[in-house]
Amino acid sequence: MAICLITGSGGLIGSESVVFFSGKNFKVIGIDNDMRNEFFGKDASTREMVNRLKGELVKYTHYNTDIRYKERLRDIFAEFNKDIKLIIHAAAQPSHDWAASDPQTDFAVNAVGTNNLLQLALKFCPKTAFIYLSTNKVYGDLPNFLPLRENKERWDLPPRHEFYNGISERMSIDRSTHSLFGVSKLAGDLLVQEYGNYFGMKTVCFRGGCLSGGKHQGVKLHGFLSYLMKCCIRKEQYTIYGYKGKQVRDNIHSADLAAAFYEFYKAPKKGEVYNIGGGRQNSCSILQAIRACERICGNKMKYNYIDRPRKGDHKWYISDIGKFKRDYPAWKQKYGLEGILGDICDNLTSK
């Protein structure tokens, strides 16, 4: 039985991938040591999800291992060796606010941990497909210097602008403020590309927009739509930072991302890069997302506004997913924005 090794297996993308690839008859090896609890507190803990996966999936084996320490990972790779046919590296410190409070830990998890996995994959299973969950923050704040126009509820580009339908992989990663999180993820991103280009491994970086879905454990510092819906349901106050609440993000459901991983696995490339997200059709501003949450859950949102954007934060970001769709035309998105928010609401209210 082919083995799929997934890091961050208790998180949003990791757990979605565990379920997806178990359903594709893979034996799944999960690695997750619940650092989200350390990063964001018990509301973000992955322990409950890991216990659920262990209890419900007979093809799932879990390791409580820290990816920062190569020797602790070595035994896993040595045991399963060339039976590992796919690696999905979703473990990360995912918040640029948190990264500023502890840059060393952030870099160790996001960059050093990624290099550890690449080295071990090269040694034990060099023909495996290696998928790295990168981020749109690798482009830093360059999107903020696009000729954005202020509309009633959102910032946007003129329809004739080359990036109107989303930012493509042509955007530079240089000469910008990335946030320390963006830097550590970019270091991992470049390593993944280099192991593909230099060593010939089948590697890919998926530079994600806002990743969401019902499995998301949104908290104040991470998880835009999930945390917003949680505040709306619980009638807790949400804080908007800067840009008049008109900053724009595109949103993709974790199930659609897992399906994209599968398409790459079936026809992998070397050192590839894709921007991945919901695209323009799944984009919204914070103000528009608030209205949608109110409509779906039936509560009035409580929020305040601080006229100071987070440093390095995007004023507008939409992913151009055209390159991936051209390379993998069988991939289709199943979730629109309303479907994503509905799934989040259903999961939060069922607890």
pLDDT digits (tens, 9 = 90+) for 268-312: 999 999 999 999 999 999 999 999 999 999 999 999 999 999 887
Q: Give the pLDDT score at 310.
A: 86
Question: pLDDT, tens digit, for every residue of 171-194?
Answer: 999 999 999 999 999 999 999 999
Check whether 70 has a pLDDT greater than 70.
yes
Q: What confidence score (pLDDT) does residue 216 get?
A: 86
**pLDDT value for 219:** 78
pLDDT above 90: residue 43: no
Q: What is the mean pLDDT of residues 5-19?
A: 97
State residue 221's pLDDT score: 67
Reading phi first (left if > 0) and then psi (alpha if -120 to 50, else beta), residue 31 is in: beta
Q: What is the pLDDT of residue 224?
A: 87
In the chain, % of residues over pLDDT 70: 99
Burial 26-36 (b: 16+ CB within 10 A, else e): bbbbbbbbbbb
The sign of the CA dihedral 59, 264, 115, 175 is negative
Mean of per-residue pLDDT scores for the chain:
96
Confidence of residue 327 (pLDDT cuts 50, 70, 90): very high
pLDDT tens readout for residues 243-266: 999 999 999 999 999 999 999 999
Mean pLDDT, to the nearest integer, of 22-38? 96
Report d(CA 30, CA 269) in Å as an integer.
24
Q: Six-digit token pair at 277?
A: 């997200």
Q: How confident is the model at residue 19 (pLDDT cuts 50, 70, 90)?
A: very high
φ, ψ (nearest 5 deg) of residue 139: -85, 0
Average pLDDT over residues 36-65: 94
**Of the given ranges (146-155, 223-232, 315-324), which has the lowest mean pLDDT?**
223-232
Structure tokens at 175: 């000469």
CA 25 to chain centre: 24
CATH number given to 3-349: 3.40.50.720
pTM of the model as a whole: 0.96
Asked whether residue 64 carries a pLDDT value surpassing 70, the answer given is: yes
Residues 143, 157, 276, 49: is their CA dihedral positive or negative? positive
